[in-house]
Structure 1
Amino acid sequence: MDTQQLLLLAALLVLPLTALLLARRHGRGKKTGARLPPGPPSVPVLGNLLWLTHSSSDIEPLLRRLVEKYGPVVSLRMGSRLLIFVADRRLAHAALVGSGAALADRPSLTRGLLGENDNTISRSSYGPTWRLLRRNMVAETLHPSRVRLFSPARAWVRRVLVDKLREQAGDAEPRAGGDGGRLDEPAVRAIAAAQRDWLAFVAKNPSVFAFLPALTRRVFRRRLQAGLDARRRQKELFVPLINARRDRKKQPNEAAAAAAATKKDTTFEHAYVDTLLDLRLPNEEDGHDRALTDDEMANLCSEFLTAGTDTTSTALQWIMAELVKNPSIQAKLHAEIESTCNTNQDEEVSEEDTHAMPYLKAVVLEGLRRHPPAHFVLTHKAAEDVEVGGYTIPKGAAVNFTVAEMGWDAREWDRPMEFVPERFLPGGEGDGVDVTGSREIRMMPFGAGRRICAGLGVAMLHLEYFVANLVREFEWKEVPGHEVDLTETQEFTTVMKKPLRASLVPRRNQSTPTPHY
């Protein structure tokens, strides 16, 4: 039984009560005087009946029609949940930046579903725990001084990636290890598979359980078990690595010697999990701080990997697809790279080199505008009644924002569906765009306000670094019969429905073309 069939069955059961309950709700609305955002008709318990014919996983086309009909702030009901979508950049700025803390909370995703707490940066309620976790990540891992420590690791990843692209298989010899060093390829693949299973569950299932939770948890118990299994598998993989870092921390002299011995290849002296071992969370029950549990640390490590890899790899594929589709743009970018690095005989385009490449930055920004990996931000929750655009967003409502549509707004961008990096060069319409959204919102690939992505700076660094090096190493061409198709599909992020295939022609010290990928 799928979601639509379940809803139809439920509708047949509750329709006899609908008229009475609607009348009661209408009366309560009159008493409160609240002006909720408009939206399609709904019935108690079920919410909007349009879910009988529309999938929540493909909500964008539906929202476009609703915004055209009702305006830039729209209400939808999914079961008992009230969802509000904001589709105007100015109203988004007023809500996320102007209203500040009022919309900085998060609805619970898995607390009731999988029996775990929400002590991660993305899911924590707005409060002391969230502030502690976010401050720890920003200060101890994402601060520029910390990010520089991982330059050798990024260079190693670049070498492995280029080798794999050139030879269809990695010829590097990664070292196995469970002490915070490099993992061998099977271990990496196992972690990647566990992450994919978890992301697939998160992307496809929470909305299902929003309808009549007591019933859907029974009907879809196999899906629920898949989520539990995915979490358990992550912990089986992460906890031994966490324990290895814990043991390493107890032997500082040996750890320092190991770090010095491996420093030429990469750096192991600092890891995100090390900072978690020292954290003490506020305990509201007895007033005493406590250490993170292994389960909490595993969840935080999973979050760190997801935020640091999935969205960035998605954005990288979209950018490279546009460069394949637009060879003149690729040629212009390659010319900038060569002119900047013409005296640089090193193997790579360094992170410092990218700072002197305005066209590279423009290409990355245009990629994020045209193909934001997430078409919506992570859902916010109103901590109190908030006025937005003349409407009341009531306390407890889930609120989201149409990220992609704001970046494609024809009132703000010329030829918004075309890939035109020049718009971000001096004098262009995107010159000086505020990607943080603090001054204004014209595009918001990282969100905005207090829950903006903490890794914004690192994401931009990684995209610029890898795009520059991939274009310097290879000329990327279309494969006849496998032309670039920019059709989207929704997974955890918005990815290419038909993954990119390109013919790679080595530009440096190579005499034979690289096979297709």
Structure 2
Amino acid sequence: MEFWFVIIVSLCISALLGSFFNLFKKNFPPGPPSLPLVGNLMWLRHPISELEFVLRRLKTRYGPLMTVNIGPRKLVFVGSHSLAHRALIQKGAFFADRPSPPATSKILNRTRMVINSAAYGPTWRLLRRNLMHEILHPARVKSYSRSRQWVLSLLIDRLVYASKSESSVTLIDHFQYAMFCLLALMCFGDKLQETQIKELESAQRGFLLSVRRFEVLNLWPRLGKILFRNRWKELLQLRLEQEKVLIPLIRSRIQAKQQRISYHQEDVTAYVDTLVDLQLPEENRKLDEFEMVGLCSEFVNAGTDTTSTALQWIMANLVKYPHIQAKLYHEMVSIVGHPKSSQREMIEEEDAHKMPYLKAVVLEALRRHPPAHFVLPHKVTQDVELDGYLIPRDASVNFMVADMGWDPKVWEDPMEFKPERFLPTSSGEAFDITGSREIKMMPFGAGRRICPGLALALLHLEYFVANLIWKFEWIPVEGDQVDLTEKQEFTTVMKNPLRARISPRI
């Protein structure tokens, strides 16, 4: 017993001394002091998003590039437009990897066979290229127009029904369901029944809402499996329930595809269709069902909460600022006419493309209220210099998205909602949201890991906002203030979900 005690103590002392001396040997970005190896353990109880207040204060002291030790992890935060461009665009290959997933993710995803967390390499390139070329290509996106029309009609019916039974409507639940329906149809095919969509949503929402509960398991997984056995079992059960819902949908779609091939029938391509014949380059095999579950789950989740959150923020500003809503409505009337006199039932996607003020409203909302205040963390593939500091290989790097959109050095009156700042210039040049030329804001990330669904998200936001404003006038609830004040500035989800009264324009 004494022998093992001496060995353990010696190893601990060596690790502590090694970490301590490394602090002086390497020119890491500055940051708050912490105990070597242990780090700031008090931060472990909170996700990064809840530490935004603290990080903002640290930024004023240590600058836009800083190191924060959270437990045993060394995290680098970038809060500058120019540094973000230098890292993600000019040195993009070095910042294109992802940190190893936590222990819970290995159960939730079974493998790293999802685009968001896949290691930078041939498999990631294959999965991303498949998504971009087979599903998100403009021609393919256009083929889903019937699904968008059906979901829009479903959303409008739900809003009208809710407005008749209540004095005001809480919007976020309706927005989330509409976006989920749309992504589910794109993933599994437009023959999906609404009962199947609701069953799928129940499995996916339960999965997402429970994730925070299991974060404690990532601290010391081996010890956690002993101390929190029941929670580990609960996590495994959640994954099994998800597979129980998704695998039959995947099998059904594959079977339907084989029948269409046999009878030479044509159908709109679903995401599942594109996964069946993928050949993994590093393992020379096809995807198994569990890997397809992870990819399908990623597909429907990635575009649901982010788009519905952005949609709620857009509508919140249009409710709070009726003059902006009126200006947007007048633009629509000038292009498609009044809804009373128009022969059409809805604004088409081609019409929305002709509305510069609509695009400006959407971009301003993404700047002012980015759906995520931080991107998914990056991992550097080798030692790299940034602004005179060493970013060591395998370091985890994150980018302060909200700070960049609120920087007064770049944006005049950054906390004001001013869509006019995104109207085309006299030269006709549109704002580059990809950040390839320069980064002024990055709600979709930037560089090699930029969100592949960027164009699709913008299309959905413009299409749904256009029709919601064209069909209804959105009115604040009497005595209920739309809270866009400082209390809300540091959150991606409104603490008090938007409620509004809607008045049909027809």
TM-score by length of 1: 0.84
- The amino acid that maps onto 2:318 is L
1:307 is displaced (CA, Å) by 1.6
Aligned partner of residue 434 in structure 2, secondary structure: coil
What are the equivalent positions in structure 2 for 1:255-266 lying under 5 Å apart? 257=265
1:129 equivalent to 2:138? Answer no
| 1:74-95 Cα distance to aligned partner (Å, 9 max, x none) | 1122222211110111001111
2:178 aligned partner = none
**Quick one: structure 1 residues 489 and 364, their matched pair in 2 at CA, closer, same or farther if it must change by over 3 Å?**
closer
Aligned partner of residue 193 in structure 1, secondary structure: helix
Aligned partner of residue 157 in structure 1, secondary structure: helix
The separation in 2 between residues aligned to 1:345 and 1:189, in whole angstroms, is 33
The separation in 1 between residues aligned to 2:375 and 2:296, in whole angstroms, is 21
Tell me if structure 1 keeps the 8 A contact 2:41–2:71.
no
The separation in 2 between residues aligned to 1:482 and 1:254, in whole angstroms, is 59
Tell me if structure 2 keeps the 8 A contact 1:370–1:417.
yes
RMSD: 3.0
What are the equivalent positions in structure 2 for 1:322-337 lying under 5 Å apart? 322-337=317-332
2:113 aligned partner = 119
- The amino acid that maps onto 1:238 is L
The separation in 2 between residues aligned to 1:80 and 1:183, in whole angstroms, is 46
1:255 is displaced (CA, Å) by 6.5
What are the equivalent positions in structure 2 for 1:16-55 lying under 5 Å apart? 22-30=16-24, 33-51=25-43
The separation in 2 between residues aligned to 1:20 and 1:475, in whole angstroms, is 67
TM-score by length of 2: 0.86
1:95 equivalent to 2:90? Answer no
- The amino acid that maps onto 2:257 is K
**Quick one: structure 1 residues 52 and 290, their matched pair in 2 at CA, closer, same or farther if it must change by over 3 Å?**
closer
1:243 aligned partner = 251
1:310 is displaced (CA, Å) by 1.8
Tell me if structure 1 keeps the 8 A contact 2:103–2:221.
no
**Quick one: structure 1 residues 235 and 21, their matched pair in 2 at CA, closer, same or farther if it must change by over 3 Å?**
closer
The separation in 1 between residues aligned to 2:15 and 2:282, in whole angstroms, is 41
| 1:38-59 Cα distance to aligned partner (Å, 9 max, x none) | 1122224431144278664511
1:464 is displaced (CA, Å) by 0.4
**Quick one: structure 1 residues 15 and 321, their matched pair in 2 at CA, closer, same or farther if it must change by over 3 Å?**
farther
What are the equivalent positions in structure 2 for 1:215-230 lying under 5 Å apart? 215-230=223-238
What are the equivalent positions in structure 2 for 1:261-410 lying under 5 Å apart? 268-284=267-283, 289-342=284-337, 345-410=343-408
1:191 equivalent to 2:209? Answer no
1:188 is displaced (CA, Å) by 1.8
- The amino acid that maps onto 1:324 is V
1:213 is displaced (CA, Å) by 3.4
**Quick one: structure 1 residues 179 and 476, their matched pair in 2 at CA, closer, same or farther if it must change by over 3 Å?**
closer
Bigger shift: 381-390 or 361-370? 381-390
What are the equivalent positions in structure 2 for 1:362-511 lying under 5 Å apart? 362-427=360-425, 432-486=430-484, 487-488=487-488, 494-508=492-506
The separation in 1 between residues aligned to 2:492 and 2:10, in whole angstroms, is 40
Tell me if structure 2 keeps the 8 A contact 1:57–1:204.
no
Tell me if structure 1 keeps the 8 A contact 2:383–2:392.
yes
Note the residue ranges of structure 2 that are not aligned, 5 or more in a row. Answer: 1-7, 166-173, 175-180
1:241 is displaced (CA, Å) by 1.0
- The amino acid that maps onto 2:157 is D
Q: How many residues align?
A: 473
Aligned partner of residue 494 in structure 1, secondary structure: coil
The separation in 1 between residues aligned to 2:56 and 2:225, in whole angstroms, is 31
The separation in 2 between residues aligned to 1:452 and 1:406, in whole angstroms, is 16
1:148 aligned partner = 142
**Quick one: structure 1 residues 217 and 81, their matched pair in 2 at CA, closer, same or farther if it must change by over 3 Å?**
farther
The separation in 2 between residues aligned to 1:184 and 1:248, in whole angstroms, is 15
Tell me if structure 1 keeps the 8 A contact 2:136–2:453.
yes
The separation in 2 between residues aligned to 1:205 and 1:439, in whole angstroms, is 40
Aligned partner of residue 133 in structure 1, secondary structure: helix
Aligned partner of residue 482 in structure 1, secondary structure: coil
1:342 is displaced (CA, Å) by 1.9
Note the residue ranges of structure 1 that are not aligned, 5 or more in a row. Answer: 1-13, 260-267, 509-517
| 1:208-252 Cα distance to aligned partner (Å, 9 max, x none) | 344333334444444444433332222111111111111112212
**Quick one: structure 1 residues 81 and 121, their matched pair in 2 at CA, closer, same or farther if it must change by over 3 Å?**
same
1:3 aligned partner = none
The separation in 1 between residues aligned to 2:482 and 2:359, in whole angstroms, is 23
The separation in 1 between residues aligned to 2:200 and 2:300, in whole angstroms, is 10
1:432 is displaced (CA, Å) by 3.5
Tell me if structure 1 keeps the 8 A contact 2:122–2:282.
no
The separation in 2 between residues aligned to 1:111 and 1:54, in whole angstroms, is 17
- The amino acid that maps onto 1:145 is A
1:389 is displaced (CA, Å) by 1.6
Aligned partner of residue 42 in structure 1, secondary structure: coil
**Quick one: structure 1 residues 114 and 75, their matched pair in 2 at CA, closer, same or farther if it must change by over 3 Å?**
same
What are the equivalent positions in structure 2 for 1:149-168 lying under 5 Å apart? 149-168=143-162
The separation in 2 between residues aligned to 1:400 and 1:47, in whole angstroms, is 18
Tell me if structure 1 keeps the 8 A contact 2:49–2:374.
no
1:482 is displaced (CA, Å) by 2.8
**Quick one: structure 1 residues 145 and 114, their matched pair in 2 at CA, closer, same or farther if it must change by over 3 Å?**
same
Bigger shift: 35-44 or 387-396? 35-44
The separation in 2 between residues aligned to 1:410 and 1:96, in whole angstroms, is 22
**Quick one: structure 1 residues 500 and 64, their matched pair in 2 at CA, closer, same or farther if it must change by over 3 Å?**
same
The separation in 1 between residues aligned to 2:448 and 2:376, in whole angstroms, is 12
The separation in 2 between residues aligned to 1:453 and 1:113, in whole angstroms, is 20
